[in-house]
Structure 1
Amino acid sequence: MGSGQKPANLTMQDGKGNQQRVWDKLRECQGRISSNLISRKTGIHYRTVKRYMISLKKEGYLEQVGMYFGEPLYNLVKDSGVDFPKIIVGKKESYKETAKEIMWRGVRILGEFSAIDLVSLADVSTPIKLSTAQRFIKHLNRAGYFDLVGKPRPGTLSRYRLRRAMNAGPKTPIVQCGGQVFDPNFGKVFYPVLSD
């Protein structure tokens, strides 16, 4: 958290981060769109919107079609669907699914799993270490996401099952400082319950 970024639960609204909210407005507003307009409609700081829109232009999603009082006007020319283009502002677009996204999808699909099962979901471009899978499971388990399936035998890893009530959607829960988990599907924070 030392990067100066606010925790996800403080920047998200309705389970959506800034880039998703900007993208939704860009898709909603047809025609000549400015950073100022999107900033006003979303309540997101103007410079944040402007930086993201410049990145979208560089990647070919937006096309500049004019100026209005020194402000560039854009048209959306490449609509990639409801999910926002994952662009690191100021860098080339290079989105690949993160290890946590892969593990969360696996947890939702597999039903019953262990850390080894989550590691096996990795591909060459996104490897998952056993320790990463174990940490992911530990934090979500402490926040009440899983039920333990049986007692682990010596030399084997524990097996878990996602609780139905915690399977609210495809967006990956975000582990924050202190082990609290922000779930963008619920739009709320789940705090760890530490057992004795």
Structure 2
Amino acid sequence: MNAIALKLALPKGAHHYWQVMCERTKSAGGFTVTDIHKSSNGVTRAAVWIYVQGCLAQGFVEKVGAKAARSSIFKVTTPRRDAPKIHAVDGLMGRRRQQLWTAIRAMPNFQLRELAVAASVEEVEISYGTAQRFIWQLRDAGMVELLDDGGKNAPSTFRLKRKANTGPLAPRIFDARVVFDPNAQKIVGEAIASEVLS
């Protein structure tokens, strides 16, 4: 398999949304969800809408008008450097990944069903399938190693590689859209990544 260099643009997150919201408020008197979405790589319009609605509910922005029936105009009420933390943006899958990561870091080795139980809390239960998908993604990335494949009737045992234990925040999983030119054998343009939410 030939290796191909890939220039990747990761999705812009809450810090970027907030910067654009503040800039548009200063330069144009306000912004729409579409304004923010168009300036953000690889994120859905819904993700931006959730962030803006969270800011609205917490008083960081206010509605000042509308361009059309479904295109509200907002403005930042109190500009500040740090983006407000709106927890809804992270979503349920973000919480599940964080719980799995915390459990993985605490366990010297683990089996998938054991991990799902250890990572579950009363508010958010982790299924076997969710644990399996996350571990396979980390294994594909070289962060988790298989210690024992378990055979036909026994579960496999995994371990987080020491060099992959870089800190308490869970890895985020991205898919990338690319345009590949088979004639030139190269990626054309910049790949746009979007976060996997399930």
TM-score relative to the length of structure 1 = 0.53
Provide the residue aligned with 2:123 in structure 1. 125
CA offsets per residue over residues 150-190 of structure 1, 9 Å max, x none?
A: 5647754222221233334514332659xxxxxxxxxx99x
Query: Take 2:85 and 2:8, find their aligned partners in 1: how far apart are those partners?
Result: 16
The letter for the 1-side match of 2:142 is: G
Number of the residue aligned with 2:109: 112
| In 1: Cα distance, 2:7 partner to 2:57 partner | 28
Match of 1:194 in 2: none
**Are 1:21 and 2:16 counterparts?**
yes
Structure 2 regions of 5+ residues with no counterpart?
1-5, 66-71, 177-192
Task: Indicate which of 37, 40, 43 corresponds to 1:44.
Answer: 40
Match of 2:77 among 56, 75, 78: 75
* Identical-residue share of aligned pairs (%): 15
- Contact kept, 8 Å, 1:35 with 1:53, in 2: the verdict is no
Higher RCO (Cα < 8 Å, 6 or more apart):
2
**Aligned residue for 1:173?**
172
Q: Match for 1:149 among 141, 147, 150?
A: 147
Question: Cα offset for 1:119?
Answer: 2.6
Instruction: For residue 149 of structure 1, give the secondary structure of its aligned residue in structure 2.
Output: strand
RMSD: 5.1
| Contact 2:55 2:86 survives alignment (8 Å) | no
Which residue matches 1:102? Answer: 99
Give 1:55 deviation, angstroms. Answer: 0.6
Q: Which residue number in structure 2 is paired with residue 59 of structure 1? A: 57
TM-superposed CA distance for 1:122, in Å, is 0.3
Query: Is the contact made by 2:96 and 2:126 (CA closer than 8 Å) also made in structure 1?
Result: yes
Say whether the 8 Å CA contact 2:110–2:158 is kept in structure 1.
Answer: yes
Question: CA contact under 8 A between 2:145 and 2:158: conserved in structure 1?
Answer: yes
Q: Tell me what 2:185 maps to.
A: none
Post-superposition offset of 1:82: 6.4
Counterpart residue identity of residue 108, structure 1: R
List gaps (5 residues or longer) in structure 1. 1-8, 178-187, 190-196
Paired residue type of 1:73: K
Task: Give 1 or 2 for the bigger CA radius of gyration.
Answer: 2
